[in-house]
Amino acid sequence: MAKLYFRYGAMNSGKSTALLQVAYNYEERDQRVVLVKPRIDTKGDAEIVSRLGMTRTVDVLLAPDDEVPAVFERTAREDPHPGPDGEPRRVAAVLIDEAQFLTPRQVDDFLRLAVLGDVPVLAYGIRTDFRTEAFPGARRLLEIAHSLEELKTICRCGRKAVFNARRVGGRFVFDGAQVAIDGVDSEYESLCGACYLQESGGALGGEDA
């Protein structure tokens, strides 16, 4: 039985780089992978963009109302590099970037794909938004993924970063819409708990900052 994996970390922890490395490892062994990104993430449009400068076009841009089983079945049939017999190759793994933007229903469907379809699903994303509140997709992944792995990065002070602080116009902000894409609508900085509380005046979540 294949598994659903959630590899999470604060921003700048190398999630997209790790995903692209996994894709390379599979393909180096002539295994087919399907790369997925939620459509809501407009950074790079149809590409996964790592902070090291690596890019890769995704196979699926998944809208919130897309049905995972139907999308996967269609994508599996449309192999751009079919086998010697002309038939599509079996999908060896599904790799998801920015998985926090999945809907909980889509996370459930990816679990079913792993367990019932025997296709490993590796989801990469962040747990919480700039107010330290969980994204719905990340919350569901934390609830049902077979394997949880934290990818680490450091705060400006040298401690491990755990929170994602949002800046608009150079100022840290602690209210607003949950989704604002890094480099498009806002800027973000990964902070440890102490530095986050210093910037927020001690507030967390729905508290007034």
Q: Which residues contact 170 (CB under 8 A, 6 or more apart)?
A: none
Cβ atoms < 10 Å from Cβ of 156: 11
Active site residue 199: no
**Nearest-angstrom CA–CA distance, 127 and 134:** 6
151: nearest Cα among 143, 161, 142 = 161
**Nearest-angstrom CA–CA distance, 77 and 72:** 9
Select which of 98, 150, 199, 207 is catalytic.
98
**Pairing status of strand 32-38 against strand 147-150:** unpaired
Residues serving a catalytic function are 98
